[in-house]
Structure formats: C-alpha cells, structure tokens
Homo-oligomer: A and B are copies of this chain.
Amino acid sequence: MKRSERLVGMTYYLLEHPQQLVSLPFFTEAYDAAKSSVSEDLGIINQMFQKQGIGELLTVAGAAGGVKFIPFNSQENSESFADLLAKQLEDPERLLPGGYLFMSDLLGDPETIRNIGRLFATHFSDQNVDVIMTVATKGIPLAYAVASFLNVPVVIVRRDPKVTEGSTVSINYVSGSSRKIQTMVLPKRSLQKGANVLIIDDFMKAGGTIDGMKSLLAEFEANVAGIGVLAEAEDEDEERVVQDYVSLLQINNVDIKEKKIEVHRGTIFKS
C-alpha cells in the first residue's frame, strides 16, 4: 500500500480511537508496511494534528509501547467557539418565563455538542477520568461528547428508578433554586469504588443538582475528578453550594423587561 493511502487509513483509525494505545505492529500488519515507514507516517500525522490545533500523538516507548492520539482544542479554537455560542444565546427570542433561556436547539445540534465535548475533554485530559456522570436529560449528549474524546464510559443519574436498571442507590438532596427535596438514583452496577468521576451538566444556577451528584458519588465511595457545566447563571437570592467547577459560558444579565441577555466566556478560560 502506498504512503498516501496509509496516511488516510491511519488518520481515520487514530481519530476513531482517541486515548487508546495503538502498537506500531498493529499498523505495520494492517498496512503491510515497514516499521520505519509507519514511524514516518505517524510523524507527519502528529505534525499536522498539532498545526491544525486538533490534538497530538503521544509516543510511548518500549516493548509495550505505541502511539496514543490525545485530542485537544487549541486555545484559539476554544475561544472563538465559545464566543460564537455566547452570541447565539444572546438572542432575545430565547427568553422564557422566569428568566430561563431556550437552549434545546443548540443542544440538539450534533456538531455543537461535539465541539463542547472536545473543549471539556481538553480541559480535563490530565485528570485521569475513569467515568463521566451526568443527570437526565439535557446533560446526556454533552456527557457522551466529552466521553467520546476521553474514551471513558458514561453513567446517567435519574430522578426515578427504572426496572431496566436493576438495584439502585438513591439519595435525597435539596434543589438550590426551588428548595424542594428531590431524589436521585444510580444503578448499583454503574460505578466502582474509588473511580475518578467527571461530572458534566448543561446548566447550573445555585448548584443543588451538582451537589446532589457529589453526594451520590460519596455514597459509592468514588472521587470527583472535576465538574464542568455548559452554562452557569447567577442566582441573586443565594450563594452557590458548589465552588469547584468550570463553566464554558456565564449568563450574566437577563433583563426580561428590556429583553436583553448578556453571555460571556465562562471560568474555563480563566484557569
């Protein structure tokens, strides 16, 4: 096989298997090529990935070595994406009663979701994440997008147990905004003791839901590897119950009378 064909095949394979160690013999056998040729190909791919700001190839030396594709978003790509998203959210047509914003259309676009996922995966790539956790419903696509770049599984917390999930562990928590007592459940089989869990959600106000997920993790004796939310909004009436998070966007001023919304880059750009 020619180098040109091999480059297409190897680029595809690496993109489809992020964070996975691929041995050199895997490629030399798949493409019937010499080790030196494959090494050279990997050099070209690595250079091009870095030039385009989409990731890099990590070389692991030794007999059990190989290469690992680590996806990332360059700072420049991340900032321009966040600014574009912020602008879309500032559309006054999004204003809903109670000062909420309609975001379902943006969260329904697979390319937007993938970009958000890449951005969070870049931020948390050195946190040794084992599992991503989110709560039904809107956080789910975001969680899977992050997971696909970090190559880890997703577990979904629900408000109500379902027969198709077997035994569950449940906790009660106080919703930050409404002060109501709510329940969260997670199937017993879904988490190992000691797992490093990254919490991903779409929206945070007071932080009650995220705090509930932290309590649930404590119940499983698992660790919080990080917390990422797409958008955070200020809550005038009370302080946040969660502090150790990053947000992609901050919704700063929602003026229902004047039909104005201000959205800025979130804390993920400040760390």
Contact = CB atoms under 8 A, between A and B. Distances in A.
A175 to B, nearest CB: 13
A110 B166 contact: no
A176 to B, nearest CB: 15
A52 B12 CA distance: 10
Interface string A84-124: 00000000000011101111110011110110000000000
Nearest to A146: B110
A110 B134 CA distance: 14
Interface of A: 3-5, 7-9, 11-12, 15-16, 41, 44-45, 47-49, 51-52, 54, 96-98, 100-105, 108-111, 113-114, 136-138, 140-141, 144-145, 147-148, 151-156, 158, 163-166, 187, 189-190, 203
25 contacts: A4-B7, A4-B41, A5-B44, A5-B47, A5-B48, A8-B49, A9-B52, A12-B49, A12-B54, A16-B114, A96-B163, A96-B164, A101-B164, A102-B164, A102-B187, A105-B190, A108-B153, A108-B154, A110-B144, A110-B151, A110-B152, A110-B153, A137-B140, A141-B144, A144-B144
B100 A148 contact: no
A126 to B, nearest CB: 19
A182 to B, nearest CB: 13
Contacts of A141: 140-141, 144, 154
A137 B155 CA distance: 12
A251 to B, nearest CB: 12
Contacts of A7: 4, 7-8, 11
B44 A100 contact: no
A45 B44 CA distance: 16
Most B CB atoms within 10 A — which of A8, A98, A141, A147?
A8
Contacts of A104: 155-156, 164-165, 187, 189-190
Select the residue from A155, A164, A190 with max chain B CB neighbours within 10 A: A164
Contacts of A166: 96, 102
Contacts of A101: 164
A190 B114 contact: no
Nearest to A117: B110
A110 to B, nearest CB: 4
Contacts of A8: 7, 11, 44-45, 48-49
Given A7-B8, A141-B140, A105 B189 contact: yes
A4 B3 contact: yes
